[in-house]
Amino acid sequence: MSNATSNVSKQAQQSSFGAQAGASFAFDSIQECGTYICNWSGHLLRVPEDGVTPGRSPMINIVGCEPLYVTKISDNPFVTATKARLLACNFDLPVNF
């Protein structure tokens, strides 16, 4: 299997089972609760289950000309700040919290 085919297979698995820790995507694409790092600022973003429940309005709506990207670091939206810093460092992400 070629490297390109392997990458496509991995992406398909991630999209069917949800975002894996370390996955980066646009803020507007968040569909699962968890802890995220804002790639543009290094701020910690906690998304509780209520924040992504179908049929509810989004808890936060950020509007701009360019997409804002986040990286998921944990499925747990309530991970401690100390652990969140360590997880962010494991993914070489900026930390500003």
Assign 3-class secondary structure to the chain.
Answer: CCHHHHHHHHHHHHHHHCCCCCCEEEHHHCCCCEEEEECCCCCEEEECHHHHCCCCCCCCCCCCCCCCEEEEEECCCCCCHHHHHHHHHHCCCCCCC
Sequence ranges of the domains in the chain: 18-90
Look at residue 8 in the predicted model and tell me its pLDDT: 37
| pLDDT tens digits for range 51-87 | 888 877 667 778 889 989 999 999 999 999 999 999 9
Strand order in the sheet with 69-74: 24-26, 69-74, 34-38, 44-47
Query: Would the pTM count as exceeding 0.85?
Result: no
| pLDDT tens digits for range 13-49 | 343 347 899 999 999 889 899 999 999 999 999 999 8
